[in-house]
Amino acid sequence: MRFCFLSISKLGFNSAIAYSVHRESKEGYQMNIKSIIKKIIINNNKLYVFAQCINNLNDPNYIKLIKGYYDGSYDYTSILVTRNGIRFPSIIVYHIVDCKVNNGKNIKGRMGFCAVLRWTLEKLYFSDYFGFTPIVEWGNVIPYYDTGMDIVTKNVFEYYFEPVSKINYEEIKDCGVVIEARMGHRNFSMEHASHELSYAISKSEIEKLAYIYKKYIHLNKKTREYVNENLNNLLKDNKIVLAVHVRGTDFNVGCKNHPTVITPQEYLTKVKELYASGDYDKIFLATDDENVLELFQREFKSELLYYADAFRSKNHVGAQCTYSKRPLHYYRLGLETLRDIYTLANCNSLICGPSQVAFAAQYINLALNRDFKELVILDKGINKDNSVEAKRYKRWLRNRNRAESL
């Protein structure tokens, strides 16, 4: 009780206690100090939550409940309903905001484009099942937020896509009934929505993501024209193309809960094996790693297709972590990722590892009513812990972001 009293004093509640003591002497009755403190705590939301946490520290069920609220592991059926205004009274709005990227902090580089897209699709599945009207809002915590795009829109999702419903994201403050999307809603239909298993995906999950993508996700006019023009120029001769996606850069440091590294040489060996069959005219390479591109260029020369203007990294820093002086760098990173995905999805066969870009290529391929002739996934399992190099890389990234925020 002393702890609570001292905390309240520091928060400026001396006046409330003094008032109670004054009443006690004036009106002739006694009020227990415990009741005063209890009343103050109950009337202050932050103090009340803090007190409940202290009182339930030894309750494993309570700890599970609180932890589950943040990581989505406890109960996917729980929802938070708010009433913001009086518009659209007959509609239940489902608000997907930021996907809890970076725990709400504006830190560049913590999540790739296709990871954010997948989380959005999984929440859209929840919304679709219950017949809600979804609104998707990616704010400035998304790594692809670019201040240069503020004159167009502040919703990063709409940099690239059409809105998923007729209600604009700016109207959320006026909607009558709003359900805020939670991380746990991803678990509603997905077998591997937890972070530890997010690189394991079943055929049924690919099919569900394809269904939701086809129903809700539509490239906006600018993105669609960009993707189609590049795709047509690259595959204009209707050749039979073997696609390969090699996720390099920060994947190579061996981070916990990420796939065990498939080396560029292992990818190259598998590509040479399939290409030697004579069934393919060209090879398309999508990679975020400049070193991988140089390796494939030396091997396949003119038989290799790739986008020469794509931004790639030459070290263990992921593209989404980088800075560049080129105009609209972060916006263009997302645009180039979408271009790669649609090109991969439109090729005849695909060799890849377990990555979010590779998963996106698979469910978009299905959404486009196509089917890969051959789908080869190189998989060595998931890292159970951070490597020494991964710890060093994360420390560097953390220090860089801290310096940026000063």
| Percent of the chain topping pLDDT 70 | 74
Dump pLDDT digits (tens) for 364-395: 999 999 999 999 999 888 777 765 455 555 55
Determine if residue 169 is left, alpha or beta; phi over 0 gives left, psi from -120 to 50 gives alpha, anything else beta.
Answer: alpha
Nearest CA to 316 among 246, 400, 253? Answer: 253
Residue 312 to residue 333: CA distance in whole angstroms: 9
- Per residue in 86-133, pLDDT (tens digit) is 888 889 999 998 755 444 444 444 678 998 999 999 999 999 999 999
Q: Check: CB of residue 332 under 8 Å from CB of residue 143.
A: no
Token duo for residue 145: 């937020």
**List of residues 6+ apart from 175 with CB closer than 8 A:** 84, 85, 87, 88, 91, 93, 167
- At 4 the pLDDT is 36
Confidence at residue 357, expressed as pLDDT on a 0 to 100 scale? 95
Q: What is the dihedral of CA 347, 322, 198, 260, to 10 degrees?
A: 80
Higher pLDDT, 322 or 76: 322
What pLDDT, on the 0 to 100 scale, is given for residue 16? 44
Q: What topology does CATH give the domain 234-404? A: Rossmann fold (3.40.50)
What is the band of 50 on the pLDDT scale with cuts at 50, 70, 90?
confident
DSSP code of residue 261? P
| pLDDT over 80 (residue 5) | no
Q: How far is CA 183 from CA 67, 88, 116, 120, 206, in A?
A: 12, 25, 12, 10, 19
Say which residue, 14 or 315, is predicted with more confidence. 315
Q: Look at residue 47 in the predicted model and tell me its pLDDT.
A: 86
pLDDT at 207 over 90: yes
Bridge-based pairing state of the strands 304-305 and 241-246: unpaired
Whether 210 has a pLDDT exceeding 90, the answer reads yes
Q: Which of 79, 123, 81 is nearest to 99 (CA)?
A: 123
For tokens 């981070």, the residue is: 255
pLDDT at residue 293 is higher than 70: yes
Distance between CA atoms of 282 and 56, rounded to whole angstroms?
A: 62
Domain ranges of the chain: 2-55, 78-212, 234-404
Average pLDDT over residues 145-169: 94
Q: Quick one: tokens of 397?
A: 């990234």
pTM metric for this prediction:
0.77
